[in-house]
C-alpha cells in the first residue's frame, strides 16, 4: 500500500528543503523530491550570503528589518555553517566630487544599517582612510577617497540545504533525491500526487499526497504548467568566478562598466567574484557561461583590485534566479521579494501550492509562510519552530584546539571539519581514532578525511558519490577533483558494495560534472592542471573496451 503523505515538496533547493523541514517539524507526513542532489540548482550557484537587506534600506525599511531578524535566526540555528564577511566599499578618487559624495552617502547608509546589525549579531560600520584601507587590504588600488565597511554573514549553502533535508528526515520526512517528477496526478480539479522516475535505478514510481508544494525555483513554472496552473517568472542568470584561495579578508565592492555593483568575497577557503544579472530565457538545465560574462566581472574588479587578473580562477558557476515577473525594469531592479501561490484561488487547482522568487537570506521565513498556507489548507494548527531548533550539528560548536589536541589531529583540518559538522565532528574524529587508516586525507585542497566521507555516506542521505561534493566539499579546490573524485567513488563503492564498473561510471560522471564549470575559464595554472588531470585519467577517458 502506498503512503498517503500530507504534503509532497517538489524541489530540493534551499526553499524546498526549508519547507520540508518546517512541515515535518509541525508533525506532517512529508516527502521531499529532488531531481538531482539537494542544492544542485540555484542554491548551489548563489553567493552564499545571508545579508540583511542593506539595499532595501532606502525603499523598504521593513524588509531590511525582516531580513536582519531572519539572518539572526539562521545564524542561531546553524552557527557552525556561517562565517563573518566584513564588506568593504572603497570609493575611488577618479570619480571626483561624485566620489566624495558617494563616500558620505555610503557612510550615512551604513550608519542607518548599524541599527539593524544587532538582530543578526553584526558589528557597527567603520569608515577608513585610504592609508587604513591599504593596511587592511593591500591589494586594493591606491587612488581612494576612503572606504566604509559593514558586516554580513556568509554560509555554506549546499550544506544548509542538506542539513534542512536531514532535519526534515529526523522529524519523519522521507527524502527522495535523484528522483524526477514526470507527471502530476490529477483527480477532478485537484492534484493528488506525483509520478516519478528514479534517475539512478530507472524505476518509475508514484506517491500520493493531500497537497503538492512546488519549490522548483527556475523549474517552478514548468511544474505549475503540469498542474494546469501558472507562475510567471523573469529568470535571470548569475555567474560567479571562483578563485583558488582567499585573496582578501573582506568582501570588496566594485562598480562594473554598467554601473552595477559587483564584489569579491571570501567564501570558506576561497574567494568568489560575482555576480552578473541578465535575463535568461534558455534551459535551466544547460546554462552556458559566456566570454562576455567572464570579462565583465574581471574588468569590474580590476579597477579596485588592479592585480585581479593574476588570480587563479579555478571555476565559474552559473545559476538562474527565479525572480518574479515584472516588465520594464532592469534585471537588478527586479524585486527580490517572494510570493506564495495558492493555486486553488488563482487557477482553480486544488491541492497545489507554489513558492517562487525570494532570496537565500529569506529562505527560512519564506518556508514558514509557505508552511503556514499548507497548514491552513490541511487544518494543521501547529506553528513554526524552525527558527528555534538548531539544525543537525548546530547544537554547539566544539573548540578547535581542544578537539585537535584530544584527537591528535591537525587543527586546520579539525576546524574545517567543525565548520561542516558542528557538534557532530566528534563522531567523525571517533571513527578516525578507532580506524586510523580512515584519517587519510582524500582531498587535500580542503582537508577531507576518508572518515568524513564514510560518515556522510552513512548518515547524510547520500545516493551517489557526486553527492559528497555538497556534503564534504571535496573536489572544490585548485585541482578540481583531480586527486579525490575517483577515490571518493571507490570509498562510496566500498560502503555500498558497488561493482568496479559502477564505481568507474560514477567517477566519470563526477569528472564530467566538474568539467562543465571550468571549461570556460581554463587559463594560466588551471590549464596546466588540466593537462595533468587528463594525462593521469587517460584510461578513464577511453571508451569502455568491447562495448
Q: Which residues of this protein are in contact with another protein, per CB under 8 A?
A: 289-291, 294, 309, 436-437, 439-442, 450, 482-483, 486-487, 490, 493-494, 499-501, 503-504, 508, 511-512, 515-516, 519-524, 527-528, 530-532, 534-542, 544-546
203-209-213 Cα angle (round to 5): 95
Distance (Å, whole) CA 137 – CA 90? 10
Q: Name which of 31 and 457 has its Cβ closer to another protein.
A: 457
Residue 239 CB, nearest approach to another protein (Å): 12
Say what angle helices 61-77 and 363-378 make with each other, to 10 degrees: 90
**CA dihedral over 87, 63, 391, 208, signed as positive or negative:** negative
Rg of the Cα atoms in the chain: 23
Cell of 6: 500530507
Residue closer to another protein by CB (options 234, 482) is 482
450-488: b or e for each residue (b if 16 or more CB lie within 10 Å)? bbbbbbbbeebbbbbbbbbbbbbbbbbbbbbbbbbbbbb
Give the cell for residue 309: 587578473
First vs last C-alpha separation in the chain? 41
DSSP code for 392 = T
Give whichever of 254 and 503 is closer to another protein, judged by the CB atom. Answer: 503
Q: Which of 221, 477 has the CB closer to another protein?
A: 477
Closer by beta carbon to another protein, 446 or else 490: 490
Closest approach, Cβ 35 to another protein, in A, equals 19
Q: Are 537 and 544 in contact (CB under 8 A)?
A: no
Give the nearest distance from C-beta 520 to another protein in angstroms. 4
Output 62 or 538, the one with its CB closest to another protein. Answer: 538
Residue 245 or 312: which CB sits closer to another protein? Answer: 312
Residue 336 vs 454, nearer CB to another protein: 454
Which residues have a Cβ under 8 Å from the Cβ of 229 and sit 6 or more positions away?
341, 343, 346, 347, 349, 352, 354
Nearer to another protein, 180 or 534 (CB): 534
In the complex, the smallest distance separating the C-beta of residue 414 from another protein, rounded to whole angstroms, is: 17
Q: How far is the CB of 530 from another protein (least distance, A)?
A: 7
Whole-number Å distance between alpha carbons of 365 and 539:
49
As measured in angstroms, the least distance from the Cβ of 465 to another protein is 14
Q: What single string gives the DSSP state of each residue in 59-97?
A: T-HHHHHHHHHHHHHHHHH-GGGEEEEEEEEEEEGGGHH
State the DSSP string of 126-169: EEE-HHHHHHH-TTS-S-EEEEEEEEEEEE-HHHHHHHHHHHHH
Measured from the CB of residue 441, what is the shortest distance to another protein in angstroms?
8
Coil, helix or strand for 32?
strand
Compute the least distance from the CB of residue 431 to another protein, in Å: 14
CB of residue 164 to another protein, shortest distance in Å: 31
The maximal CA–CA distance of the chain, rounded, in angstroms, is 74
Amino acid at each position: 500500500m502506498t503512503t498517503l503523505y500530507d504534503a509532497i515538496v517538489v524541489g530540493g533547493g534551499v526553499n524546498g528543503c526549508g519547507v520540508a523541514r518546517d512541515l515535518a517539524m509541525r508533525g506532517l507526513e512529508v516527502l521531499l523530491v529532488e531531481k538531482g542532489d539537494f542544492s544542485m540548482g540555484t542554491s548551489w550557484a548563489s553567493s552564499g550570503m545571508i545579508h540583511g537587506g542593506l539595499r532595501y534600506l532606502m525603499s523598504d525599511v521593513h524588509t531590511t528589518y525582516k531580513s536582519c531578524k531572519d539572518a539572526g535566526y539562521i545564524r542561531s540555528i546553524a552557527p557552525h555553517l556561517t562565517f563573518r564577511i566584513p564588506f568593504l566599499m572603497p570609493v575611488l578618487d577618479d570619480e571626483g566630487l561624485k566620489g566624495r559624495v558617494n563616500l558620505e552617502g555610503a557612510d550615512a547608509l551604513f550608519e542607518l544599517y548599524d541599527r539593524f546589525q544587532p538582530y543578526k549579531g553584526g558589528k557597527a560600520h567603520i569608515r577608513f582612510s585610504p592609508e587604513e584601507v591599504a593596511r587592511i587590504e593591500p591589494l586594493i588600488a591606491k587612488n581612494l577617497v576612503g572606504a566604509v565597511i559593514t558586516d554580513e554573514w556568509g554560509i555554506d549553502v549546499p550544506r544548509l540545504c542538506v542539513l534542512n533535508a536531514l532535519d526534515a528526515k529526523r522529524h519523519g520526512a522521507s527524502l527522495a533525491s535523484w528522483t524526477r517528477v514526470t507527471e502530476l496526478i490529477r483527480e477532478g480539479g485537484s492534484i493528488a500526487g506525483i509520478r516519478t522516475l528514479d534517475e539512478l535505478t530507472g524505476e518509475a514510481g508514484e506517491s500520493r499526497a493531500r497537497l503538492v508544494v512546488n519549490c522548483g525555483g527556475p523549474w517552478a513554472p514548468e511544474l505549475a504548467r503540469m498542474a494546469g496552473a501558472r507562475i510567471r517568472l523573469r529568470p535571470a542568470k548569475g555567474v560567479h568566478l571562483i578563485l583558488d584561495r582567499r585573496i582578501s579578508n573582506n568582501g570588496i565592492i566594485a562598480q562594473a562598466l554598467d554601473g552595477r555593483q559587483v564584489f569579491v568575497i571570501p567564501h570558506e577557503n576561497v574567494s568568489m567574484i560575482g555576480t552578473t544579472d541578465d535575463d535568461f530565457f534558455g534551459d535551466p538545465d544547460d546554462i552556458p557561461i559566456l566570454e562576455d560574462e567572464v570579462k565583465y566581472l574581471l574588468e569590474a574588479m580590476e579597477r579596485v583590485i588592479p592585480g585581479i587578473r593574476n588570480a587563479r580562477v579555478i571555476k565559474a558557476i552559473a545559476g538562474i534566479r527565479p525572480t518574479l515577473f515584472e516588465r520594464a525594469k532592469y534585471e537588478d531592479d527586479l524585486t527580490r521579494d517572494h510570493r506564495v501561490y495558492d493555486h486553488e484561488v488563482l487557477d482553480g487547482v486544488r491541492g497545489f501550492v507554489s513558492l517562487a522568487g525570494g532570496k537565500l537570506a529569506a529562505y527560512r521565513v519564506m518556508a514558514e509562510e509557505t508552511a503556514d498556507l499548507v497548514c491552513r489548507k490541511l487544518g494543521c494548527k501547529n506553528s513554526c519552530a524552525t527558527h528555534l531548533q538548531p539544525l543537525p550539528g548546530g547544537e554547539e560548536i566544539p573548540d578547535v584546539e581542544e578537539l585537535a589536541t584530544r584527537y591528535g589531529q591537525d587543527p586546520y583540518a579539525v576546524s574545517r571539519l567543525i565548520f561542516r559538522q558542528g557538534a557532530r565532528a566528534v563522531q567523525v574524529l571517533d571513527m578516525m581514532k578507532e580506524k586510523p587508516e580512515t584519517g587519510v586525507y582524500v582531498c587535500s585542497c580542503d582537508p577531507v578525511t576518508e572518515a568524513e566521507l564514510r560518515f556522510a555516506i552513512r548518515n547524510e542521505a547520500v545516493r551517489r558519490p557526486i553527492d559528497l561534493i555538497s556534503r564534504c566539499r571535496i573536489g572544490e579546490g585548485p585541482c578540481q577533483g583531480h586527486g579525490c573524485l575517483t577515490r571518493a567513488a571507490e570509498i562510496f563503492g566500498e560502503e555500498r558494495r558497488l561493482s568496479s564498473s559502477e564505481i568507474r561510471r560514477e567517477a566519470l560522471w563526477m569528472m564530467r560534472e566538474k568539467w562543465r564549470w571550468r571549461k570556460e575559464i581554463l587559463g594560466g595554472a588551471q590549464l596546466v592542471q588540466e593537462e595533468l588531470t587528463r594525462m593521469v585519467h587517460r584510461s578513464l577517458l577511453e571508451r569502455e573496451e568491447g562495448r
